[in-house]
Structure 1
Amino acid sequence: MESNLCERFVELVESCGPVTCVRSATSMTFRGPRRDFAGARRTPLGLTGYLGLRRVVHDHRFGGATRYTDRLFVHRFHLRGCEELDEEFAGWVREAYLVGSS
């Protein structure tokens, strides 16, 4: 795993606005002004985590989406390198932040 993949993900999340990061021994959860919207943990092959979105997104970085409520889908992702944290992924992080703000 690229050593700065996790740090880059954290920077991307924090660039969205005020967040609270709750860290445990193995993972971190990000909370917006109202609710959790993202989480991640390091793995030997990269970074795995989730984003809460109001729609289903189909992309190779997502392992699927699970309906959490009528208007919220939790997307599981797996990233292997910083190049996967592109502008498209950043847009999904911003969308998830809006979920955490509402």
Structure 2
Amino acid sequence: MWACPRCARTFANRNQTHTCAPLGDLDTHFAGVEPNVRATFDRVLDVVAELGPVMVLPEKTRIALHVRMSFAAFMPRKRWLNGHLVLARRAESERFRHVEEFSPRNVLHAFRLTTPDEVDEEFATWLAESYRVGRQDHLRT
């Protein structure tokens, strides 16, 4: 792991391009949102915590979940939680608003959650897969 000497954020690769800025406050992202939005995010964190250690990075425009690399991001809105997961494959589901393939093993899956109940078994399976991408397990042979 490489840590940026200016912002101390860690990366899998040395001198990785990033926005070098101090992290914000997690609660600021949830100011003015409906209670279900925070409850939904907290449910996501509960699921991820069962997978292993994770860094929660409240950045300026999003909240990233990070291990060796960021594997998920969340953008709270007044009535819902927008976000995306990075998977090492394209997963087909109507729950994904769009899918963007950056490379064969770096596929962004965007979603919108409105209640904690939507962080169900299927979503937890995607979170676990995305967490493994964050650890870069998919690159090991």
Same fold per superposition (TM over 0.5): yes
Contact 2:64 2:72 in 1 (8 A): yes
Taking the TM superposition and a 5 Å limit, the aligned residue runs for 1:66-81 are 66-81=100-115
Larger Rg: 2
Q: What TM-score, normalized to structure 2? A: 0.66
Taking the TM superposition and a 5 Å limit, the aligned residue runs for 1:17-56 are 17-32=52-67, 34-56=68-90
Alignment deviations for residues 1-20 of structure 1 (CA, whole Å, 9 cap, x no partner): 41511211122222211111
Q: Which has the higher strand share?
A: 1
Q: Work out the CA distance in 2 between the residues paired with 1:68 and 1:61.
A: 20
Mind listing any 5+ residue stretches in structure 2 that lack a counterpart?
A: 1-33, 137-141
Alignment deviations for residues 63-86 of structure 1 (CA, whole Å, 9 cap, x no partner): 111012221101111011111110
Alignment deviations for residues 37-94 of structure 1 (CA, whole Å, 9 cap, x no partner): 0111211221111100011122232111101222110111101111111001000000
Contact 1:26 1:42 in 2 (8 A): no
**Identity, % of aligned pairs?**
31
Q: What TM-score, normalized to structure 1? A: 0.88
Mind listing any 5+ residue stretches in structure 1 that lack a counterpart?
A: none
Aligned residues, how many? 101
Superposed CA RMSD in Å reads 1.5
Higher RCO, 1 vs 2 (CA within 8 Å, ≥6 residues apart):
1
**Following TM superposition, by how much is the alpha carbon of 1:25 offset from its aligned partner in structure 2, in angstroms?**
4.9
Q: Work out the CA distance in 1 between the residues paired with 2:63 and 2:47.
A: 14
